[in-house]
Amino acid sequence: MERCYRVAMLVSRSRLVRDLRGLGLEPGGVAMVHCRMSSLGHVAGGAETVVRALLDASGPGGTIMSYTGWQDEPPDDLGDLDEESRRVYLEEHPPYDPCVALARRDHGRIPEALRTWPGARHSGHPEAGVAAVGPLADALTAGHPYDDAYGADTPYARLVELGGRVAMLGAPLDTVTLVHHAEAVAKVPGKRRVSYGSPVIVGNPGERVWRTFSDIDTSEGALPYERVLGEEDYIEHITRSALSAGAGRSGRVGEATAYLFDARGLVEHAVGWIERNFASGDLDRR
């Protein structure tokens, strides 16, 4: 029996530029990008081509930003390890250095490509960090609080303040990092918080210090969303709701379904949704 195999579309840099502009990416703007390369088709030149296309579409006055995180961060459960394993991490795990620390692989290839791009700037946070390229890269990444790293005075807040956008290029809607900023700034009680440790460099010339970080729980969610949505992912629910409310638009980039959100509109919608469902403690409302 003869089998038929689907051949991915060959996608060029010029095709990506046309599609990105058709989606609404404008010259001179600021955009936070999430990308699933495999959804775009077979991109000639890979991640480098995608970054070049994003920069082309944004023009010389445009800035591109991406969440990086840290691929090789120490485990959260150090307390559960045996004494020798715990000692190795505490004494010998390298401190976070955004110039060499690999971006998280589960967010695709674009964050690492952007992190290592000539002229890239890094915000310096080991878990919530971002990299940016362009004229506003310094403004976006200048200072990233170690605690409450998704809240006020962070790159995520600055993206909103600068009138930025969020581009989802074939990436699933449950990966929109900016929703965590909305969780952080929403005025609701009882947010779930987590603490975790990581080695960092402090001072000049620099000393390795093991530091404890405190933040909202971005893994399970800062609030009991499961009581409102059941098993539905809350980030995807909020972003789809924002699309329906006019905070974003969809289009095609290569073979992928892509979305472009207005950062301020998305955050305002997400904050409103969170505060309506949780501010009073009435978890039965929708």
Residue in the structure block whose two tokens are 């170690």: 146
Question: 3-class DSSP state for residue 123?
Answer: coil
> What is the predicted pLDDT for the residue at 285?
42
C-alpha distance from residue 130 to each of 114, 199, 271 (Å): 10, 18, 22
Q: List, in order, residues 6 or more apart from 284 with CB less than 8 Å away.
A: none
Look at residue 286 and tell me if it is in a domain. no
pLDDT value of residue 205: 81
Number of domains in the chain: 1
As a three-state string, the secondary structure of 119-133 is CCEECCCCCCCEEEE
User: pTM surpassing 0.85?
Assistant: yes
pLDDT at 2: 55
**Domain-embedded: residue 5:** no
Q: What local confidence, expressed as pLDDT, does residue 286 receive?
A: 41
Burial of 194 (0-12, 13-18, 19+ CB in 10 A): middle
| 94 within domain boundaries | yes
The verdict on residue 149 lying in a domain is yes
- Predicted confidence (pLDDT) per residue in 24-36, tens digit: 999 999 999 999 9
Two structure tokens written together for 5: 């195999």
Q: Is residue 39 part of a domain?
A: yes
Assigned domain for 284 exists: no
Is 93 contained in some domain?
yes
What is the domain range of residue 41?
A: 10-278
In a domain, 2, yes or no: no
d(CA 124, CA 128): 9
Longest pairwise C-alpha distance within the chain: 68
pLDDT in tens, the chain (286 residues): 555 555 678 999 999 999 999 999 999 999 999 999 999 999 999 999 999 999 999 999 999 999 999 999 999 888 899 999 999 999 999 999 999 999 999 999 999 999 999 999 999 999 999 999 999 999 999 999 999 999 999 999 999 999 999 999 999 999 999 999 999 999 999 999 999 999 999 887 889 999 999 999 999 999 999 999 999 999 999 999 999 999 999 999 999 999 999 999 999 999 999 999 997 655 444 4
pLDDT for the residue numbered 284: 46
What is the pairing mode between strands 165-169 and 30-35? parallel
